[in-house]
Structure 1
Amino acid sequence: MDNQIKPPAFLNVEAKKKFQTIYAALNADNKWRDGDEIALSALCASYQHWVEAEKAIKKNGDLCFTTDTGYRQQIPEISIANNAMKNMLSFIKEFALTPRERTKLKEMILKEDNNADDEMEDMIQK
Protein backbone atom coordinates (compact mmCIF):
# COMPACT_ATOMS: atom_id res chain seq x y z
CA MET A 1 0.00 0.00 0.00
CA ASP A 2 1.95 2.93 -1.27
CA ASN A 3 -0.71 5.50 -0.35
CA GLN A 4 -1.35 4.39 3.24
CA ILE A 5 -4.05 6.31 5.12
CA LYS A 6 -3.01 7.05 8.70
CA PRO A 7 -5.44 6.76 11.60
CA PRO A 8 -6.28 9.96 13.46
CA ALA A 9 -4.07 10.90 16.40
CA PHE A 10 -6.97 10.90 18.90
CA LEU A 11 -7.37 7.12 18.63
CA ASN A 12 -5.58 4.93 21.15
CA VAL A 13 -3.15 2.21 20.07
CA GLU A 14 -5.81 -0.53 19.95
CA ALA A 15 -8.24 1.57 17.88
CA LYS A 16 -5.41 2.61 15.51
CA LYS A 17 -4.65 -1.07 14.91
CA LYS A 18 -8.33 -1.68 14.06
CA PHE A 19 -8.25 1.30 11.70
CA GLN A 20 -5.17 -0.04 9.90
CA THR A 21 -6.57 -3.59 9.71
CA ILE A 22 -9.92 -2.49 8.28
CA TYR A 23 -8.31 0.00 5.91
CA ALA A 24 -5.92 -2.68 4.61
CA ALA A 25 -8.78 -5.13 4.02
CA LEU A 26 -10.97 -2.58 2.22
CA ASN A 27 -8.06 -1.30 0.17
CA ALA A 28 -6.99 -4.84 -0.81
CA ASP A 29 -10.54 -5.55 -2.03
CA ASN A 30 -10.61 -2.23 -3.97
CA LYS A 31 -13.51 -1.08 -1.80
CA TRP A 32 -11.73 1.96 -0.30
CA ARG A 33 -12.98 5.32 -1.56
CA ASP A 34 -11.85 8.88 -0.91
CA GLY A 35 -13.66 10.13 2.17
CA ASP A 36 -14.00 6.69 3.77
CA GLU A 37 -11.41 7.70 6.38
CA ILE A 38 -14.05 9.87 8.08
CA ALA A 39 -16.47 6.97 8.58
CA LEU A 40 -13.63 4.59 9.48
CA SER A 41 -12.34 7.09 12.04
CA ALA A 42 -15.83 7.31 13.56
CA LEU A 43 -16.09 3.50 13.61
CA CYS A 44 -12.75 3.18 15.38
CA ALA A 45 -13.57 5.98 17.83
CA SER A 46 -16.80 4.16 18.70
CA TYR A 47 -14.81 0.94 19.10
CA GLN A 48 -12.41 2.76 21.43
CA HIS A 49 -15.26 4.17 23.54
CA TRP A 50 -16.95 0.76 23.72
CA VAL A 51 -13.77 -1.01 24.88
CA GLU A 52 -12.99 1.69 27.45
CA ALA A 53 -16.54 1.65 28.81
CA GLU A 54 -16.57 -2.15 29.04
CA LYS A 55 -13.26 -2.08 30.96
CA ALA A 56 -14.73 0.52 33.35
CA ILE A 57 -17.85 -1.62 33.85
CA LYS A 58 -15.72 -4.66 34.66
CA LYS A 59 -13.52 -2.64 37.02
CA ASN A 60 -16.54 -1.15 38.81
CA GLY A 61 -17.90 -4.59 39.63
CA ASP A 62 -21.43 -3.27 40.12
CA LEU A 63 -23.75 -2.11 37.37
CA CYS A 64 -25.53 0.35 39.65
CA PHE A 65 -24.71 3.01 42.20
CA THR A 66 -26.73 4.68 44.93
CA THR A 67 -27.46 8.40 44.53
CA ASP A 68 -27.37 10.90 47.39
CA THR A 69 -31.15 10.53 47.66
CA GLY A 70 -30.93 6.75 48.01
CA TYR A 71 -32.02 5.71 44.52
CA ARG A 72 -30.14 3.00 42.65
CA GLN A 73 -29.05 4.08 39.18
CA GLN A 74 -27.24 2.41 36.34
CA ILE A 75 -23.60 3.48 36.02
CA PRO A 76 -23.03 5.87 33.07
CA GLU A 77 -20.53 3.50 31.43
CA ILE A 78 -23.38 1.16 30.48
CA SER A 79 -25.04 3.87 28.38
CA ILE A 80 -21.69 4.84 26.88
CA ALA A 81 -20.97 1.20 25.96
CA ASN A 82 -24.44 0.68 24.49
CA ASN A 83 -24.32 3.88 22.40
CA ALA A 84 -20.81 3.12 21.18
CA MET A 85 -21.88 -0.39 20.19
CA LYS A 86 -24.88 0.94 18.23
CA ASN A 87 -22.64 3.43 16.43
CA MET A 88 -20.09 0.72 15.66
CA LEU A 89 -22.70 -1.60 14.23
CA SER A 90 -24.08 1.08 11.92
CA PHE A 91 -20.60 1.83 10.55
CA ILE A 92 -19.78 -1.87 10.28
CA LYS A 93 -22.85 -2.30 8.07
CA GLU A 94 -21.82 0.68 5.93
CA PHE A 95 -18.48 -0.99 5.24
CA ALA A 96 -20.13 -4.44 4.78
CA LEU A 97 -17.93 -5.90 7.52
CA THR A 98 -20.44 -8.43 8.85
CA PRO A 99 -21.02 -11.81 7.21
CA ARG A 100 -24.64 -10.89 6.52
CA GLU A 101 -23.71 -7.58 4.90
CA ARG A 102 -21.04 -9.29 2.76
CA THR A 103 -23.63 -11.84 1.61
CA LYS A 104 -26.10 -9.07 0.75
CA LEU A 105 -23.38 -7.21 -1.14
CA LYS A 106 -22.43 -10.34 -3.06
CA GLU A 107 -26.10 -10.97 -3.95
CA MET A 108 -26.48 -7.38 -5.17
CA ILE A 109 -23.39 -7.71 -7.37
CA LEU A 110 -24.61 -11.00 -8.81
CA LYS A 111 -28.06 -9.51 -9.43
CA GLU A 112 -26.53 -6.50 -11.19
CA ASP A 113 -24.46 -8.84 -13.36
CA ASN A 114 -27.55 -10.89 -14.23
CA ASN A 115 -29.53 -7.75 -15.09
CA ALA A 116 -26.77 -6.63 -17.43
CA ASP A 117 -26.85 -10.05 -19.13
CA ASP A 118 -30.64 -9.89 -19.50
CA GLU A 119 -30.39 -6.46 -21.12
CA MET A 120 -27.74 -7.75 -23.49
CA GLU A 121 -29.89 -10.77 -24.37
CA ASP A 122 -32.85 -8.50 -25.11
CA MET A 123 -30.71 -6.39 -27.42
CA ILE A 124 -29.38 -9.45 -29.26
CA GLN A 125 -32.84 -10.99 -29.71
CA LYS A 126 -34.31 -7.82 -31.27
Structure 2
Amino acid sequence: MAKTEWKRVRELLDLETFNETDLKALEAYCQAYAKWKRCEIILMDKGYTFTTPNGYEQQRPEVSISNNALSDMQSISKELGFTPASRIRMDKNRGEGSSGGSNGKVHDQEMEDMIS
Protein backbone atom coordinates (compact mmCIF):
# COMPACT_ATOMS: atom_id res chain seq x y z
CA MET A 1 0.00 0.00 0.00
CA ALA A 2 2.84 2.39 0.81
CA LYS A 3 4.48 1.68 -2.54
CA THR A 4 1.21 2.29 -4.41
CA GLU A 5 0.72 5.60 -2.59
CA TRP A 6 4.35 6.56 -3.32
CA LYS A 7 3.75 6.03 -7.04
CA ARG A 8 0.47 7.96 -6.95
CA VAL A 9 1.91 10.95 -5.09
CA ARG A 10 5.17 10.93 -7.05
CA GLU A 11 3.20 11.66 -10.22
CA LEU A 12 1.73 14.77 -8.59
CA LEU A 13 5.00 16.23 -7.35
CA ASP A 14 7.92 18.03 -8.89
CA LEU A 15 10.61 15.77 -7.45
CA GLU A 16 13.39 17.97 -8.87
CA THR A 17 12.69 20.53 -6.15
CA PHE A 18 12.73 17.91 -3.38
CA ASN A 19 15.83 17.22 -1.33
CA GLU A 20 16.75 14.17 0.76
CA THR A 21 14.81 15.42 3.78
CA ASP A 22 11.68 15.90 1.67
CA LEU A 23 11.98 12.39 0.30
CA LYS A 24 12.21 10.97 3.84
CA ALA A 25 9.07 12.93 4.78
CA LEU A 26 7.32 11.57 1.68
CA GLU A 27 8.38 8.06 2.69
CA ALA A 28 6.99 8.63 6.19
CA TYR A 29 3.74 9.92 4.66
CA CYS A 30 3.40 6.80 2.52
CA GLN A 31 4.10 4.52 5.49
CA ALA A 32 1.49 6.36 7.57
CA TYR A 33 -0.96 6.06 4.68
CA ALA A 34 -0.43 2.30 4.45
CA LYS A 35 -0.88 1.91 8.23
CA TRP A 36 -4.06 4.01 8.15
CA LYS A 37 -5.46 2.10 5.17
CA ARG A 38 -4.78 -1.33 6.74
CA CYS A 39 -6.48 -0.28 9.98
CA GLU A 40 -9.49 1.13 8.15
CA ILE A 41 -9.92 -2.13 6.23
CA ILE A 42 -9.87 -4.09 9.50
CA LEU A 43 -12.34 -1.67 11.12
CA MET A 44 -14.72 -1.89 8.17
CA ASP A 45 -14.62 -5.67 8.43
CA LYS A 46 -14.67 -6.16 12.21
CA GLY A 47 -16.16 -2.92 13.56
CA TYR A 48 -14.78 -0.43 16.06
CA THR A 49 -15.23 -2.56 19.17
CA PHE A 50 -14.85 -6.14 20.33
CA THR A 51 -15.97 -8.13 23.34
CA THR A 52 -13.23 -9.16 25.77
CA PRO A 53 -13.12 -12.69 27.23
CA ASN A 54 -14.66 -11.17 30.40
CA GLY A 55 -17.62 -9.86 28.41
CA TYR A 56 -16.66 -6.17 28.29
CA GLU A 57 -17.02 -4.09 25.15
CA GLN A 58 -13.69 -2.52 24.21
CA GLN A 59 -12.41 -0.32 21.40
CA ARG A 60 -10.27 -2.14 18.86
CA PRO A 61 -6.57 -1.11 18.92
CA GLU A 62 -6.84 -0.30 15.21
CA VAL A 63 -9.01 2.73 16.05
CA SER A 64 -6.20 4.58 17.83
CA ILE A 65 -3.57 3.32 15.38
CA SER A 66 -5.68 4.64 12.51
CA ASN A 67 -6.22 7.99 14.24
CA ASN A 68 -2.49 8.39 14.90
CA ALA A 69 -1.58 7.47 11.33
CA LEU A 70 -4.15 9.94 9.98
CA SER A 71 -2.76 12.67 12.23
CA ASP A 72 0.76 11.88 10.99
CA MET A 73 -0.44 12.01 7.38
CA GLN A 74 -2.08 15.39 7.93
CA SER A 75 0.98 16.99 9.51
CA ILE A 76 3.35 15.58 6.89
CA SER A 77 0.94 16.68 4.14
CA LYS A 78 1.24 20.26 5.34
CA GLU A 79 5.04 20.04 5.39
CA LEU A 80 5.15 18.70 1.84
CA GLY A 81 2.64 21.20 0.47
CA PHE A 82 -0.18 18.73 -0.17
CA THR A 83 -2.86 21.05 1.20
CA PRO A 84 -4.09 24.21 -0.56
CA ALA A 85 -3.11 26.42 2.39
CA SER A 86 0.40 24.98 2.60
CA ARG A 87 0.88 25.43 -1.17
CA ILE A 88 -0.12 29.09 -0.90
CA ARG A 89 2.34 29.55 1.98
CA MET A 90 5.09 27.82 0.01
CA ASP A 91 4.41 29.98 -3.06
CA LYS A 92 4.59 33.14 -0.95
CA ASN A 93 7.90 32.10 0.58
CA ARG A 94 9.30 31.03 -2.78
CA GLY A 95 8.52 34.48 -4.24
CA GLU A 96 10.32 36.34 -1.48
CA GLY A 97 13.76 35.23 -2.51
CA SER A 98 13.40 36.25 -6.14
CA SER A 99 14.55 39.62 -7.47
CA GLY A 100 11.81 42.20 -7.57
CA GLY A 101 9.99 40.39 -4.77
CA SER A 102 8.42 41.90 -1.73
CA ASN A 103 11.76 42.29 0.09
CA GLY A 104 10.42 40.20 2.94
CA LYS A 105 7.34 42.33 3.62
CA VAL A 106 4.92 39.41 3.15
CA HIS A 107 6.99 37.22 5.44
CA ASP A 108 7.40 39.96 8.00
CA GLN A 109 3.65 40.63 8.02
CA GLU A 110 2.98 36.94 8.60
CA MET A 111 5.43 36.97 11.50
CA GLU A 112 3.85 40.11 12.92
CA ASP A 113 0.40 38.52 12.70
CA MET A 114 1.63 35.41 14.51
CA ILE A 115 3.38 37.38 17.26
CA SER A 116 0.62 39.93 17.89
Could you state the TM-score of these two structures normalised by the residue count of structure 2?
Answer: 0.74
Distance 1:91 1:23 in 2: 15
Tell me: CA distance 1:104–1:47, structure 2 relative to 1, closer, same or farther (3 Å): same
C-alpha offsets along residues 49-101 of structure 1, whole Å, 9 cap, x if unaligned? 111100000011x3111222332111111111101101111111110111111
Q: Secondary structure at the match of 2:77?
A: helix
Aligned-residue Cα RMSD (Å) equals 2.1
Q: Which residue of 2 aligns with 1:75?
A: 60
Report the structure number with the largest CA radius of gyration.
1
Of 32, 43, 55, the residue aligned with 2:41 is 55
Structure with the largest fraction of helix: 2
Alignment of 1:80-95 (within 5 A): 80-95=65-80
What stretches of structure 1 of length at least 5 have no aligned partner?
A: 1-13, 118-126
Of 93, 108, 116, the residue aligned with 1:108 is 93
Partner amino acid, structure 1, of 2:40: E
Share of identical aligned residues, percent?
32
Q: Which residue of 2 aligns with 1:16?
A: 3
**Do 2:22 and 2:80's aligned partners in 1 also have CA atoms closer than 8 Å?**
no
What stretches of structure 2 of length at least 5 have no aligned partner?
A: 106-116
How many residues of Structure 1 are paired with residues of Structure 2 in the alignment? 101
Residue 35 of structure 1, CA deviation: 3.4
**Do 1:57 and 1:78's aligned partners in 2 also have CA atoms closer than 8 Å?**
yes
Partner amino acid, structure 1, of 2:43: I
C-alpha offsets along residues 88-126 of structure 1, whole Å, 9 cap, x if unaligned? 111111101111111122233345521169xxxxxxxxx
Partner amino acid, structure 2, of 1:74: Q
